[in-house]
């Protein structure tokens, strides 16, 4: 039986600024909003999805690579469901579920070094040494409708680093 994937990318930031009008006896509210909401049909064209993967991770102090073309999807009991080998990544969402510290992600963050970094044009990492820190309780979202290619073998890995404490996080990746 072949799998078919669809996805929804939904992100929003909504805040309200409220002002009391001097002498006028009223208030004014100014909304601040940026929202993104799109549905991705099954397929390999821009704005479509053909593969998905997710995991909950506990990373002790140190580094850990995520090989984008060599992932394994596990069920709730830890048994292997199937292998996932992304050829194109279209979206990544990482939620740092830790109670303290920060999770660092990036091309040349960890022991794998710059030679195997997923970095450059189209990725969220402009160079092999680019890093993004996600504080505890924080969120990182990246979406590129056309996607960014992943090289085969160990050429494209996403490095994770926990510097001061074990970091727990949830990660989801969509692509083809």
Predicted confidence (pLDDT) at residue 175 exceeds the cutoff of 90: yes
Spatial separation of the C-alpha atoms in residues 66 and 46, rounded to whole Å: 24
Spatial separation of the C-alpha atoms in residues 72 and 66, rounded to whole Å: 11
Spatial separation of the C-alpha atoms in residues 136 and 134, rounded to whole Å: 7
C-beta atoms surrounding 96 within 10 Å: 22
Q: Which two tokens stand for residue 57?
A: 């991770």
Q: Check residue 116 and give its pLDDT.
A: 60
Condensed to tens digits (0 to 9), the pLDDT of residues 34-70 reads: 999 999 999 999 999 999 999 999 999 988 888 888 8
Hey, where are the domains in the chain?
Answer: 44-175
* C-beta separation of 96 from 136 below 8 A: yes
Q: Check residue 89 and give its pLDDT.
A: 94
Q: Check residue 76 and give its pLDDT.
A: 75
Can you spell out the DSSP letters for 46-93? TTEESEEEEEEEEE-SEEEEEETTSEEEE-TTS-EEEEE--SEEEEEE
What residues does 62 pair with on adjacent strands?
162
Identify the band that residue 23 occupies on the pLDDT scale cut at 50, 70 and 90.
low
Spatial separation of the C-alpha atoms in residues 106 and 92, rounded to whole Å: 12
pTM value is 0.86
Q: Phi first, then psi: what are they for 116, rounded to 5°?
A: -120, 20
CATH of 44-175 given 2.60.120.770, 3.40.50.720, 1.10.287.1080, 3.30.60.50: 2.60.120.770
Cα dihedral 108/59/101/104 (nearest 10): 20
Predicted confidence (pLDDT) at residue 171 exceeds the cutoff of 90: yes
Condensed to tens digits (0 to 9), the pLDDT of residues 77-131 reads: 778 888 888 999 999 999 999 999 999 998 654 444 455 677 777 888 877 778 8
Can you spell out the DSSP letters for 121-137? TTSS-SSTT-EEEEETT
């Amino acid at each position: 039986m072949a799998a078919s994937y669809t996805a929804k990318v939904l992100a929003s930031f909504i805040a309200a600024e409220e002002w009391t009008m001097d002498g006028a006896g009223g208030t004014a509210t100014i909304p601040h909003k940026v929202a993104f909401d799109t549905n991705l049909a099954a397929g390999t064209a821009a704005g479509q999805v053909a593969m998905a993967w997710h995991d909950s991770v506990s990373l002790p102090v140190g580094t850990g690579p995520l090989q984008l073309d060599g992932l394994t999807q596990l069920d709730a009991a830890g048994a292997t469901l199937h292998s996932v080998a992304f050829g194109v990544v279209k979206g990544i969402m990482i939620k740092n579920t830790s109670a303290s510290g920060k999770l660092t992600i990036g091309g040349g963050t960890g022991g794998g070094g710059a030679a195997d970094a997923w970095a450059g044009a189209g990725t969220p990492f402009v160079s092999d040494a680019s890093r993004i820190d996600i504080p505890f309780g924080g969120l990182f979202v990246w979406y590129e409708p056309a996607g960014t290619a992943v090289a085969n073998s160990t050429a494209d890995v996403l490095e994770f680093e926990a510097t001061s404490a074990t970091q727990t996080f949830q990660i989801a990746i969509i692509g083809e």
